[in-house]
Amino acid sequence: MEVIQVLHMNKGNGDTSYAKNSSVQREIISIGKTVIEEALLQLSGNNDIKSMGIADLGCSSGPNTLSVISEIMDVVRAKCGHIGRPVPEFRLFLNDLYSNDFNYLFMSLPAFYKRLKEEKGVASHCFISGVPGSFYARLFPTNTLHFVYSFSSLHWLSQVPVGLESDAVENLNKGKVYISKSSPQSVLDAYSMQFQDDFSAFIKSRSEELVPGGRMVLSFLGRNAIDPAAAEACYQWELLAEALMSLVKEGLIEEEKLDSFNTPYYAPSAEEIKAEIEKEGTFKIDSLEVFDVDWDGGAITDIQTQQGKALIGERVAKTIRAVVESMLESHFQIGQDTMDVLFVKFADIVGTYLSKTRTKYINFVISLVKKG
């Protein structure tokens, strides 16, 4: 599976689209707002910037993307007004992989520009561009960015770890789609090594693109536990594997297909994150905060009733489907009907599980400043 070609959130604005099923990501953005605001206040207060380069790495599509842009502009404008400096131009770069639904995003821009002009009178000072490509490599010229942020993206790896690809000679992680309690140590090591390589490449690339004193806020899923197979880090994948195995038993997908599928995802510990930042050496960690987030974004509270179990199961299933369907479709070569069956089963499994154990995602929000 070529992640750079295959991975994208579900497109459009339909029932299974990312635009309609990204409430968890919206909650994560909400949690990180104060960190973004503090980083921008430090940046705007310490630098007289005429044209501010800002990049959203892993922007996806849907309403979350443009809402963050609007809030960033509000913070900078307010700070500049407070200290008596002119408001800079905003050069805003929206980055994601090539198959991202940039069309949906760009079709939202006329209404966004109109609202900016009506509410703030600043549409002419805001220049938004799309930058397709992997953020694990260089995307921008040297010293052209002042602020970089990335939400709910850096837990995705650049590729399935070496040795776990679908065409590997031996399937090392049979019946699973990610790290699990039954995975051999070689699987854990492969995932850890891939994260180290990828995150190091990310930090190195941004170190060249950000100006000295530039700021970066990164928010992505991880784990508190030392054990990468802890439930907080991987159990949603364990339940998805269970749903896929039920399709194997019904003859809807081949068992070999399941055995050869591994998700290009990794939930790191804070220690792993800090180790790569410190090893690269260009950035100082201003703060590293940890939050937990409900699998459904906290929308469903009554999960002990049958209706509550069904609602939370369906909500989580739609959220996961909006994120992983492109990969499942590419690897398993299944049609819409079978995909529907899979996520009905997944919703039932999730609802039953969460009615007994309210496992939550662990989310890191990290604020960095480039030295110099």
- Residue 14 tokens read as 């339909």
* Residue 10, domain extent: 3-370
- SS3 letters across the chain: CCHHHHCCCCCCCCCCCCCCCCHHHHHHHHHHHHHHHHHHHHHHHHCCCCEEEEEEECCCCCHHHHHHHHHHHHHHHHHHHHHCCCCCEEEEEEEECCCCCHHHHHHCHHHHHHHHHHHCCCHHHEEEEEEECCCCCCCCCCCCEEEEEEECCCCECCCCCCCCCCCCCCCCCCCCCCCCCCCCHHHHHHHHHHHHHHHHHHHHHHHHHEEEEEEEEEEEEEECCCCCCCHHHHHHHHHHHHHHHHHHHCCCCCHHHHHCCCCCECCCEHHHHHHHHHHHCCEEEEEEEEEEEECCCCCCCCCCCHHHHHHHHHHHHHHHHHHHHHHHHHHHCCCHHHHHHHHHHHHHHHHHHHCCCCCEEEEEEEEEEECC
Cα–Cα distance, 118 to 115 (Å, whole number): 5
Residue with tokens 């790569």: 276
Cα–Cα distance, 249 to 332 (Å, whole number): 15
- Residue 191 tokens read as 């995932």
CATH number of the domain residue 324 falls in? 3.40.50.150
**Residue 348 in contact with residue 241, Cβ under 8 Å?**
no
Query: How would you write the pLDDT of the chain (372 residues) with one tens digit per residue?
Result: 577 777 777 787 778 877 777 777 888 888 888 999 999 988 877 677 899 999 999 998 877 888 889 899 989 988 888 888 888 999 999 999 998 989 988 999 999 888 888 877 665 588 999 999 999 999 999 999 999 999 999 999 999 999 888 777 688 888 999 999 999 999 999 999 999 999 999 999 999 999 999 999 999 999 999 999 888 888 899 999 999 999 999 999 999 999 989 999 999 999 999 999 999 999 999 999 999 888 777 665 666 677 777 888 889 899 899 888 988 998 988 889 999 999 999 999 998 888 888 788 999 999 999 997
Give the pLDDT score at 363: 94
Give the pLDDT score at 150: 96
pTM: 0.92
End-to-end CA distance of the chain: give it in Å, rounded: 40
Give the pLDDT score at 169: 67
Provide the domain count of the chain: 1
**Residue 259 in contact with residue 169, Cβ under 8 Å?**
no
Give the pLDDT score at 60: 87
Give the pLDDT score at 118: 81
Give the pLDDT score at 198: 97
Give the pLDDT score at 252: 94
Cα–Cα distance, 193 to 153 (Å, whole number): 18
**Residue 300 in contact with residue 24, Cβ under 8 Å?**
no
Cα–Cα distance, 273 to 288 (Å, whole number): 10
